[in-house]
Structure 1
Amino acid sequence: MSSSYRRKRIAVVVGTLLGTIGTAAHAQSSVTLFGIADSAILYTSKTLDLANGHNAGHQFSLITGGLAPSVFGLKGVEDLGGGMKAIFELESGIDLSTGALTDSNGNLFGRQAWIGLTGGFGTVKAGVQYSPFALSLIATDPRNVSYFGSGVPLYISNVFVTGIFNSNSISYTSPMIAGLQGSAMLALGGAAGDFQAGRQYSASLNYTLGPFMVSAAMYSGNSGGTAATTPVPSTVAFSGRTIGASYRIGDLTMKASFINFKTAGSFDNRIYGGGLSYRVTPATNIDAGVWYTSDGNDTSNHSIMAASGLTYNLSKATALYTQLGYVYNHGRMNTGLSTNGALFGVAGSTVGVAAGIRHIF
């Protein structure tokens, strides 16, 4: 055997080994780019003038996030063996109408920025993440947390993004046992010498039995801490409570919930909501929901919001949608119809319409 032939054989063997190692490494870990691009045209018959609190007249505008927030991010997983995996996620909100950061706490990865471990013991995560309280509300919203006419504008108009995007947080979610799954989160304020500033904690307990699910959760947080410097307030001092349920029958899903947002010395809003979602065809879905809000400190402050939507999927990734909403505010209540473009409303009746396109990648 010539030396030239031996060198060629060695090169082939080494190349094969390197290729095998590379394939194995690729199979054990992965990083995925993901996102949503969503934009809509919004019309409301009344608009709040933030300068004086009066009606500024109707509006007709282009908004980002009519149905879902526009986001992009990275998520990854590495198989560590023995059923354990390392996981991470980075997520940013973006305004498609201007290119600016939005629908987060104002930071680049203000929606999610965490790393964790998951396995048979459950899941542990550390970093900016959703609270169990927010996840419970997401699971029981009848309009699937649309950014128009759902529990989302109600949440954000009450406490902004506090409890949704939690900085300096550590969480644990248990595995599901006999249909039960619990989750707990503690957000450390990050301020040296003051453990109470910006401290937030939340917990939830979910029970699932076939098509039936019930979820209960709580949240409590203080103002201050390092997250108080974010462009969008994310440490508003408030306590939250919720209990909700969902039930699926074929293509029909029904949901109902009670939510309480309480801020010391300010308001005690109690929200009763419910509705349904129905998949008419594999490509077409309709939904509707109603929410009644009452201020426990002064019941003359109350509102009712109703909304419905139609979504038509052009493909697995792209959908067209239209939504119709109505809100009536009494007293000092200022419920708005849209998270983006009409977060707060004015006294009396307001009608709104949103129509747009959403693409998921």
Structure 2
Amino acid sequence: MKISKLKLASGVVVAATASTANAQSSVTLYGIADAAITFSSKTASASGGNAGKSFAVADGGGGPSLFGMLGVEDLGSGLKAEFRLESGINVANGGFNSSNGNFFGRQAWVGLDGDFGAVKAGLQRSPFFIALYESDPRNYSGFASALLLYAENVAVTGAFNSNAVTYTSPKLAGFQGQAMLALGGSAGDFSAGRQWSGSLKYENGPLMMNAAIYDGNSGGTVQTPVPSTVAFEGRTMGAGYTFGSLTFKASFVNYKVAHSFNSNIYGGGVDFRLTPSVELNGGVWYTTDRDDTVNHSVLAAVGASYHLSPRTSLYAQIGTVNNHGAMRTGLSVTDTSLLRGTPGTSIGGDIGIRHSF
């Protein structure tokens, strides 16, 4: 994402004994505005049936619209203090979106980064959520991607982790690890809302491999419109390999959700930079309920982006999903009428514009 920097302060002088040290501070303002027109051959009714076709304007067809601030201060000797505040916006109506009802509901953390790695405290992404993004061939698009399957299984749990502390190790021989502990904080019951996650990634030239785990309890003190402490266990393994402008990615993930499905998801796809201005990608995901294999679905989608400039692009996406048994895989995260699917086969798509600043 292309971002512009606004220098708020520099040359902070600290007088101590007979020496003087200079530290550089900056705050980066950044954001994305994304809007799309969506359509689908079916939408889910309140009873789970087919309510008919849909045609609508939606925020974030290619990815969420957002704005934020990233602050960095150089403390010297390779040590930096950092903070990030990030909120989602809905360009379709001017309201909140992808922020779970909070002003800075996407990210809000402060931390230290140095030769030892990085430590952060506050509202953050889990290592499990990040690992799934890294192995998604459609880069967590708002339409028909691994993000859709994530949201349908556990909503925003793991994407927005409140009261969290994370540690990211430095890279060593291509390996990098990350760990997170989110404290539920309920008086008399410290396990309520407790969440932990860990990941390990290996990168060597064109090869990327990762694995991650997530374990969370329900409850806790976090008050948000969409529960962010759904009790679930998550496991994933992913890989990617790049040949020039062509990247292959594949992943396996298991969502074992309390009082719901125990889903295995097998996915894979490609991303291809056809020209400097044109990018194509596609993916296929097969979901099956380990407890009852009658419940299964197949989701497939392709997308194309045309970059008018480094900051502005036009895009189009089309996908289809086929549901069997009680499985109700949808087509879109950002168009909520398409989040939950219907029995049988549905076809949909969107066209949109995306600008980053």
TM-score bin (small chain): over 0.9
Assess if the C-alpha contact under 8 Å between 1:201 and 1:219 holds in 2.
Answer: yes
What's the CA shift for 1:54? 1.0
Aligned residue number for residue 311 of structure 2: 317
Would the alpha carbon gap of residues 23 and 52 (structure 1) be closer, same or farther in structure 2, given more than 3 Å must change? closer
Instruction: State the SS of the aligned residue for 2:214.
Output: strand
Secondary structure of the equivalent of 1:75? strand
Q: Which residue of 1 aligns with 2:17?
A: none
Equivalents in 2 of 1:337, 1:236: separation in Å?
22
Query: 2:146 and 2:194 mapped to 1: Cα distance?
Result: 25
CA shift for structure 1 position 131: 0.3
In 1, the alpha carbon distance for the partners of 2:100 and 2:191 equals 21
- Give the AA of the match of 2:29: L
State how far apart, in whole Å, the 1-side matches of 2:26 and 2:10 are.
Answer: 12
Shift of 1:97: 1.1
Is 1:24 the counterpart of 2:20? The answer is no
CA offsets, 1:274-321, max 9 Å, x none? Answer: 000000000100001000000111100000000000000000100000
Do residues 350 (structure 1) and 346 (structure 2) align? Answer: yes
The normalised TM-score by structure 2 is 0.93
Structure having the higher helix fraction is 1
In 2, distance between residues paired with 1:44 and 1:153?
15
User: CA separation in 2, counterparts of 1:27 and 1:53?
Assistant: 58
The one-letter code of the counterpart of 2:11 is A
Pick from 136, 139, 143: which aligns with 2:138? 143
Contact 2:135 2:250 in 1 (8 A): yes
Identity of aligned residues (%): 59
SS of the equivalent of 2:339 reads strand
The correspondence for 1:200, drawn from 174, 195, 198, is 195
In 2, distance between residues paired with 1:209 and 1:356? 35
Structure 2 unaligned blocks of 5 or more = 1-8, 13-21
1:303 corresponds, among 297, 308, 315, to 297
Which of 151, 154, 159 does residue 154 from structure 2 map onto?
159
Q: Is the 8 A contact 2:68 2:85 kept in 1?
A: yes
CA positional deviation for 1:265: 3.3
Q: Which residue of 1 aligns with 2:105?
A: 110
What is the deviation of 1:24?
Answer: 2.1
Q: How far off is 1:102 after superposition?
A: 1.4
Aligned to 2:230: 236
Q: Offset at 1:267?
A: 1.2
From 272, 275, 293, the equivalent of 2:266 is 272
Shift of 1:27: 6.8
Aligned residue in 2 for 1:40: 36
Cα offset for 1:23? 4.7
Q: Shift in Å at residue 263 of structure 1? A: 1.3
One-letter amino acid of the structure 2 residue matched with residue 24 of structure 1: G
Displacement after TM superposition at 1:262 (Å): 0.4
Q: Which residue of 2 aligns with 1:173?
A: 168
**Deviation, structure 1 residue 104:** 2.5
The answer to whether the 8 A contact 1:322-1:354 is kept is yes
Q: Secondary structure at the match of 2:64?
A: coil
**Do the aligned residues in 2 keep the contact of 1:211 with 1:249 (CA within 8 Å)?**
yes
Distance 1:310 1:53 in 2: 31
Partners of 2:102 and 2:250 in 1: CA distance:
33
Q: Do 2:38 and 2:349's aligned partners in 1 also have CA atoms closer than 8 Å?
A: yes
Tell me the distance in 2 between the aligned counterparts of 1:138 and 1:243.
12
* Deviation for aligned residue 1:100: 1.6
1:80 is matched with 75
| Residue 133 (structure 1) aligned with residue 131 (structure 2) | no
Q: Which amino acid aligns with 2:78?
A: G
TM-score calculated relative to the size of structure 1: 0.92
Partner residue of 1:339 out of 333, 342, 352 = 333
* Aligned positions, number: 338
Contact 1:104–1:161 under 8 Å retained in 2:
no
**Contact kept? 2:109, 2:120, Cα under 8 Å:** yes
- Structure-1 separation of matches of 2:242 and 2:48: 42
1:291 aligns with 2:285: yes
1:202 and 1:259, CA in 2 relative to 1: closer, same or farther beyond 3 A? same
Structure 1: where are the runs of 5+ without partners?
Answer: 1-21
